[in-house]
Amino acid sequence: MMEQERCKVLIVDDEVLIRQGIRHYVNWDEEGFVIIGEASNGEEALNIIEKTPPHIIITDIVMPIMDGIELTKKVKEEYPEIEVIILSSFSDFDYVRSTFQSGVADYILKPKLEGPELLRALKQALRRLPNFDLDLSNQSITTTEDWIRYLMAGYEPINQKQLEYESFPKSHFCLMEIDLKLVKDIHKVKKNIMEQLPYVLADFNYYPILLEDRSFSYIINIDKEEFSSLIATIKKVAGKSEKIGHSIIWLLGEPFKEMAQLKKHYEDELKRLRSYRFYFPEQNFLMLRELPEVPEESSFELNRFIDVFKRRDFEKAFEELNQYTEYLTHQYTVNENEFKAILGNIIFNITLLLEGMKFDLNQMQQDRYQYFAMLNEADNSKSAKDCFTNFLEEVQNLITSQMNTQNQSNMPQLLEYIDQHYNEPISLADLANHFHFNPSYLSTYFSQHHGIGFNEYLNQIRIEKAKSYLENKNVSISEISGFVGYSDHSYFCKVFKKMTGMSPSKYRKSSLI
């Protein structure tokens, strides 16, 4: 079995004595950590991070060249997976806490910088690293927190009945998460929640599973018959939060009997609900049993859409696309990133299609990247769909304005084409395809500009040509019908009489007098 990777730590402080002290406060190897380097300021730290990224950074606030606040900001922008612990000699609590806006894991005032406090902060930061498990298999489990952490790390459950009984006297468990992802005033709301939670869960024993900047997950001990009242209580609290303008989402899992099932229920329920919240931005409470049914799979195919678009049947293409995006916004089992990738791919393909069809995309080429950015930043499916809809409206406006110009400039060529190919089998669909027109647009054009449909216009051209041939008595009427595009002689005679008021033979006699 391969040895578990140790948690890598970088120490950043401009005081050598502080750095040396940190090295000696903790038995790093025994606790599962390794120090990968030291830096005296933020700039040196970034150079080390670029070469050997740590899992955790311990940094002072006040340093020359680049201070700890600026370092934290840059780390969170470029390496958001790295956790940061702040050291400060300031006794001003509010000043130190202000650095939490940059997403730090914990803070330690230097006067309290001792082994136990440092180890506590390191383990607190470690809990925020979901993909990094410290080896707990050989460590003793003495507290409920140890037991929860052991199970969440994925280790094979061991018998802890006494500890479990003391902490969880009731028969069942459920998991709850408070999601603050959309909250603006995060520090104020977080403080309010921490103050209210003991009252909300006053009838239950509960322990934290994972505490992050914008989400708190808990295991709650209940009797099964209490679950309905717990749902009602949480819904009531969620409703009150919504009324005062806080965008808090409460997630609740189903009851289960064995503590050993903790990790499985966390993965199967809370993680799933967390991924679904992208599709339910207006709901303040989510649980699997109350979610709507997932829509049946859509028949939308990108290649078919591209074919319809290339035929310039834009009305049908956009109708299918709008139906598909409406379906997607309710397909909540689709991962958020996949949802955005699908819409982004369609935007990319539409711009390529328009470019290939000789539309002027000067402005849209610039706007396209803005739409990509807006899609990426959307925090819910409605915002992403609105962004996509705005793009489609811009495309439709571009098509309408440029199609009118293109159609007017291409129409003389089209009429000339008919004049040259009247003796061949020509249909409206063939003509539309040849000149990249929408067939319905072409039909409307003939009606509006010539007062007749396409077939009547073509018959007019053919009959006029037939008149010229009839003036030559050496050419039979049967041959003339073929010369002007009619394969059926009797049909030619019928059309000729309808349009001129006389048969071809009678017209020939009158023209030769």
Start and end residues for every CATH 1.10.10.60 domain found in the chain: 411-512
Q: What is the pLDDT of residues 436-446, one digit of tens each?
A: 676 777 777 77
Q: Which CATH class is domain 144-290?
A: alpha beta
pTM: 0.57
In the DSSP assignment, the letter for residue 80 is: T
Q: What is the pLDDT of residues 430-470, one digit of tens each?
A: 887 777 676 777 777 777 666 788 888 888 889 989 988 88
Q: Taking the CA atoms of the chain, what radius of gyration do you get in angstroms?
A: 37
Q: What is the pLDDT of residues 484-503, one digit of tens each?
A: 988 888 999 999 999 899 99
Please check the confidence at residue 513 and state whether its pLDDT lies above 70. no
Please check the confidence at residue 78 and state whether its pLDDT lies above 60. yes
Q: With contact defined as beta carbons under 8 Å apart, do 256 and 175 qualify?
A: no
pLDDT on residue 219: 93
Please check the confidence at residue 159 and state whether its pLDDT lies above 70. no
Mean pLDDT value across residues 96-104: 56
Start and end residues for every CATH 3.40.50.2300 domain found in the chain: 7-127
Tokens, residue 383: 């915002």
Q: What is the pLDDT of residues 131-146, one digit of tens each?
A: 555 555 555 667 787 7
The CA distance from 76 to 83, in Å, is 9
Mean pLDDT value across residues 62-70: 87
At 410, is the pLDDT very low, low, confident or very high (cuts 50, 70, 90)? low
Neighbours of 449 (CB within 10 A): 11
Phi and psi angles of residue 462, each rounded to the nearest 5 degrees, phi first: -65, -40
For the beta sheet containing 83-88, the strands, ordered from the edge strand earlier in sequence to the opposite edge, are: 33-39, 7-12, 56-60, 83-88, 106-109
Instruction: Kindly report the average pLDDT of the chain as a whole number.
Output: 82
116-120, 287-291, 429-433, 438-442: segment of lowest average pLDDT:
438-442
Q: Which residues are 438's β-sheet partners?
A: none
Question: What percent of the chain is modeled with pLDDT above 70?
Answer: 86
Please check the confidence at residue 173 and state whether its pLDDT lies above 50. yes
Start and end residues for every CATH 3.30.70.270 domain found in the chain: 144-290
Q: What is the pLDDT of residues 219-251, one digit of tens each?
A: 999 999 999 999 999 999 988 877 666 688 999
Three-class SS state of 173: strand
We find that the CATH architecture of domain 7-127 is 3-Layer(aba) Sandwich (3.40)
pLDDT on residue 98: 54
At 195, is the pLDDT very low, low, confident or very high (cuts 50, 70, 90)? confident
Q: What is the pLDDT of residues 244-283, one digit of tens each?
A: 666 889 999 999 998 888 999 999 999 899 889 999 988 8
Domain 411-512, classified CATH 3.40.50.300, yes or no:
no
The CA distance from 343 to 322, in Å, is 11
pLDDT on residue 90: 57
Q: What is the pLDDT of residues 29-46, one digit of tens each?
A: 777 788 899 999 999 999
pLDDT on residue 146: 78
Please check the confidence at residue 3 and state whether its pLDDT lies above 80. no
Please check the confidence at residue 199 and state whether its pLDDT lies above 80. yes
Q: What is the DSSP string of 422-474?
A: TTS---HHHHHHHTT--HHHHHHHHHHHHSS-HHHHHHHHHHHHHHHHHT-TT
Question: What percent of the chain is modeled with pLDDT above 90?
Answer: 24
pLDDT on residue 2: 36
The CA distance from 88 to 107, in Å, is 8
Q: What is the pLDDT of residues 346-391, one digit of tens each?
A: 988 888 888 888 788 777 777 778 888 898 889 899 999 999 999 9
Alpha carbon dihedral 455, 457, 461, 464, in 10-degree steps, equals 110
The CA distance from 19 to 375, in Å, is 44
Please check the confidence at residue 476 and state whether its pLDDT lies above 50. yes
Phi and psi angles of residue 463, each rounded to the nearest 5 degrees, phi first: -70, -35
